[in-house]
Structure 1
Amino acid sequence: MDEERRERIAALDEERLEQIAALPKTELHLHFEGAAPPGFIRGLAKEKHVDLSGIFNRDGSYAYRDFVHFLSVYEAATSVLKTPDDYARLTTAVLEECAKNGVIYAETFLSPDFCGGGDVPAWREYLHAIREAADAAERDMGITLRGVVTCIRHFGPDKAKRAALCAAETAGDWLCGFGMAGDENRGEQKDFAYSFDMAREAGLGLTSHACEWRGASEARNAIRDLGVSRIGHGVRAIADPATVEMIAEEGITLEVCPGSNVFLGVFPSLKDHPIERLRKAGVKVTVSTDDPPFFHTTMRKEYTDLAKTFGWDEADFLEINRNAMHAAFCDDATRDAILKRLEPET
């Protein structure tokens, strides 16, 4: 770390940290159900007379042992989201939290497997309800949301094809991307090529989770086999300089979730996280929260933690947000409008 950044860190006080926390923000890697406030899920479960007490700690937060168990708890929490109206309410709850944290643009991962069981007509109903609530939030809170359909890796390639069909049938200005989430240790990126080809033909932007748990080859496979322009996480690529160089040269943007990576033990601490090394290597990195209540983080916390650890200031975060908007899957008019809102007042 250079001397200038050390001086920035030394000069940080509560007022300076608040200035950084208050910056306008963009977020590309946000799992929709994973962003559900625990209180919202508990309340919905109570309404539906569903006992979900086993997935919460005594303090009301989500309880899980490791990443695989996290996926089970995630799916249990999602199980009370049964109707389009449930998802409309979830949209409002999630966007209220995002807006509180200064997020002005977000792309969220939506799975037709959870929203209608992969059936296109049912998926349309869910999507309509989500979009209506998102439009209301944009009007009332000033936050713009766009949707990225994700297939679930551990559900297998056949279900992925159904998710891709749902995405292709509803592609447009609001539903603008397709990706893959789930257990990275199940199957291979190439197993899902058909689904990504379908989404590409529908004009959707492409992203895939890679290099969160597996090594650098996962990133290369996602780029080569699926043709993605973004990678969810991608952080373990740091172990292979040739892969980092490939990501930088091909202009692939990484959806980095530092707090999530540290919480799950991908890296032991934020100072060990490679986000700054990736930047210095010419990789386009962005900052997101992943599943914020599960990992006890917020976008405000991400910003202040990065400032305290790496000495990032307004110029650094502006670069990060510009990276995000240039990689965003939205239309050009939306991109330009958000980029203008990100610029500092003069």
Structure 2
Amino acid sequence: MSEWQEFPKIELHLHIEGGAPPEFIRQLASEKGVSLEGVFAEDGAYAFRDFGHFLQVYEAATSVLRTPEDYLRLTRAVLAESAGHGVIYTEMFLSPDFCGGRDLAAWREYLAAIGEGAAQAEREHGIIMRGIVTPIRHFGPDKAKETALCAAETAGDFITGFGIGGDERAGKPRDFAWAFDCAREAGLRLTAHAGEWEGPDSVRAALDDLRVERIGHGVRAIEDPGLVERLARDGVVLEVCPGSNVALGLYPRLEDHPIARLREAGVKVTVSTDDPPFFRTTMTQEYDDLARAFGWGAEDFAEINRVAAQAAFCDEAIRDAIVKRLEAAP
């Protein structure tokens, strides 16, 4: 067992469908008589060539998730896997696009099932989950508005945030300003994928046009020293997913990844897996690899988790509880 497996961790950037174990998706496909030809490699893992193909494989795999009961089972499976790698608190991206086609009544049914799965996982594994509603960027601004209305109508103790995922190259952040304004007015906290496939300007646009407090990925900010200074000065938190970035070819090796340089420049960074089985990673694997590449130890990871705890989209009672669990770690 890795020395980092039981180390208590907080994860802020995890797509619920992207966390689906391949065997879980194969089982569902078998139950439903669905062919998933081309989705899996010979060793049973997900197979894709590049980011564009990854999105296609992702949507093909999620096509077997068709009912609230499917999502209840998925939630339990993903949270059990996370808890097995020391995660005590996680925020998952949930999309009404996949859960009821952005129909509010259907979304409520899916959300109730996800919430039930989360409650079961908390009882069984001690892991706490909160949801961040995300429109799919390449589905366009109009559908994002529908998703924002779903989010606003279900904001509360469980749905605490709003973000945007999908193909970062589709449209501009300002195209989605209405959706983010709607979510903000409903009391949801805001994040956005940026600075992954588009450069530093995409991070700046997410901050200026969407007024988010966290950035999903954000690593290409390193290409603009002025932006790095701004992130550090304003305390913007980056949800960094190193294994994802390397698996998709954004950086050739982890040693080339800018997470350490960003942190050294005073930027608040956290560590997450994004879509772990797709990228053949886990939170334990991320810690193992970061320790090897950058010489990070227990205090480095403890600091990163303290940053994540303060940045979490949860109420103060939950924050206090997870901070105490972090502090109780040997």
- Name the amino acid aligned to 2:129: L
* TM-score w.r.t. length of structure 2: 0.99
Question: What are the equivalent positions in structure 2 for 1:236-247 lying under 5 Å apart?
Answer: 236-247=220-231
SS, match of residue 19 in structure 1: coil
1:244, 1:152 → 2: CA distance? 27
- Name the amino acid aligned to 1:228: V
SS, match of residue 180 in structure 1: coil
Question: Partner of 1:165 in structure 2?
Answer: 149
1:71, 1:271 → 2: CA distance? 26
Alpha-carbon contact 1:22-1:102 (below 8 Å) kept: yes
Shift of 1:344: 4.0
Confirm or deny that 1:199 pairs with 2:180: no
Post-superposition CA distance 1:280-314 (Å, at most 9, x none): 11100000000000000000000011111111111
- Name the amino acid aligned to 2:67: T
Alpha-carbon contact 1:20-1:313 (below 8 Å) kept: no
Shift of 1:53: 2.5
1:232, 1:128 → 2: CA distance? 26
Question: What are the equivalent positions in structure 2 for 1:257-272 lying under 5 Å apart?
Answer: 257-272=241-256
Shift of 1:248: 1.1
1:284, 1:236 → 2: CA distance? 14
Confirm or deny that 1:89 pairs with 2:66: no
2:329, 2:278 → 1: CA distance? 35
| Among 300, 317, 322, the residue aligned to 1:333 | 317
* TM-score w.r.t. length of structure 1: 0.94
Q: Percent of counterpart pairs with the same letter?
A: 67
Shift of 1:250: 1.2
Question: Partner of 1:23 in structure 2?
Answer: 7
| Among 197, 205, 221, the residue aligned to 1:221 | 205
SS, match of residue 58 in structure 2: helix
Question: Partner of 1:33 in structure 2?
Answer: 17
- Name the amino acid aligned to 1:20: W
1:284, 1:266 → 2: CA distance? 21
- Name the amino acid aligned to 2:80: E
Gaps of 5+ in 1: 1-13
Question: Partner of 1:4 in structure 2?
Answer: none
Confirm or deny that 1:254 pairs with 2:228: no
SS, match of residue 55 in structure 1: coil
Post-superposition CA distance 1:19-77 (Å, at most 9, x none): 33321111000011011000000000000000013211111111111101100110111
Question: Partner of 1:9 in structure 2?
Answer: none
| Among 98, 118, 125, the residue aligned to 1:141 | 125
Confirm or deny that 1:119 pairs with 2:139: no
Residue-pair matches, total: 330
2:224, 2:101 → 1: CA distance? 39
Question: Partner of 1:68 in structure 2?
Answer: 52
1:251, 1:64 → 2: CA distance? 35
Pairwise CA RMSD:
0.9
